[in-house]
Amino acid sequence: MAIIKSLRGFDPQWGDDCFIAENATLIGDLIMGDQCSVWYNAVIRADVHQIRIGDRVNVQDGAVIHCTYQKADTQIGNDVSIGHNALVHGCKLHDKVLVGMGSIVMDDAEVESYSIIAAGAVVTQGTKISAGSIYAGMPAKKIGEVSDELRNGEIERIAKNYIKYSSWYK
């Protein structure tokens, strides 16, 4: 059974048709939409500020979503994929964003729609990423634009596939 912990008067909430792995952790002031999936060893810890997650978001194995006390909440739009072992902290991800495996997105960063954060990238505090951009490196820098092929073949495909994958576990 997943760790679902109420804290400071807040109960984690999620919508319809979600999959939450047996060893995932959801804590505090979390509101998550429909058809989301939180995979093995993932942690969404809304203990010090609120975390809001839209519909059809997948939080893959080992990922951590957190925020900063009284300073930076975390907002995640619809159709977002958070890759394995990624860290999303006190930032805003718009709709249809792909956060690659092992990457870090720090406080007050904002990633607009149809953007890709490459695996292992570190998006530093306060970085603003315009729609349709690809960022990679440490610190992350813009390396290109998201093509139609990447939009359909990666961003949208992964989000849709995780809805299918999670159905196998329900």
For 37-84, the pLDDT digits (tens) are: 999 999 999 999 999 999 999 999 999 999 999 999 999 999 999 999
Q: What is the Cα 162 distance to its own chain's centre?
A: 13
**pLDDT recorded at residue 42:** 98
Question: How high is the mean pLDDT of the chain?
Answer: 98
Residue 89 is inside which H or E element, if any? Answer: strand 87-89
Residues 46, 29: contact at Cβ < 8 Å? yes
Residue 167 has pLDDT above 90, yes or no: yes
Cα distance between residue 20 and residue 1, in whole Å: 9
- Tell me yes or no: is domain 3-169 CATH 2.160.10.10: yes
pLDDT band of 95, cuts 50, 70, 90: very high
Please compute the mean of the pLDDT values over residues 87-107 and round it to a whole number: 98
Please compute the mean of the pLDDT values over residues 110-131 and round it to a whole number: 98
Residue 100 has pLDDT above 90, yes or no: yes
Contacts of residue 103, defined as CB under 8 A and 6 or more positions apart, other chains included, come to: 83, 86, 87, 117, 118, 119, 120, 121, 122, 123, 140
Take residue 166 and report the two structure tokens written for it: 């999670």
**pLDDT recorded at residue 1:** 84
Please compute the mean of the pLDDT values over residues 28-34 and round it to a whole number: 98
Please compute the mean of the pLDDT values over residues 144-170 and round it to a whole number: 97
Please compute the mean of the pLDDT values over residues 138-162 and round it to a whole number: 97
Residue 133 has pLDDT above 90, yes or no: yes
**pLDDT recorded at residue 12:** 98
Please compute the mean of the pLDDT values over residues 162-168 and round it to a whole number: 98
Take residue 147 and report the two structure tokens written for it: 């093509």
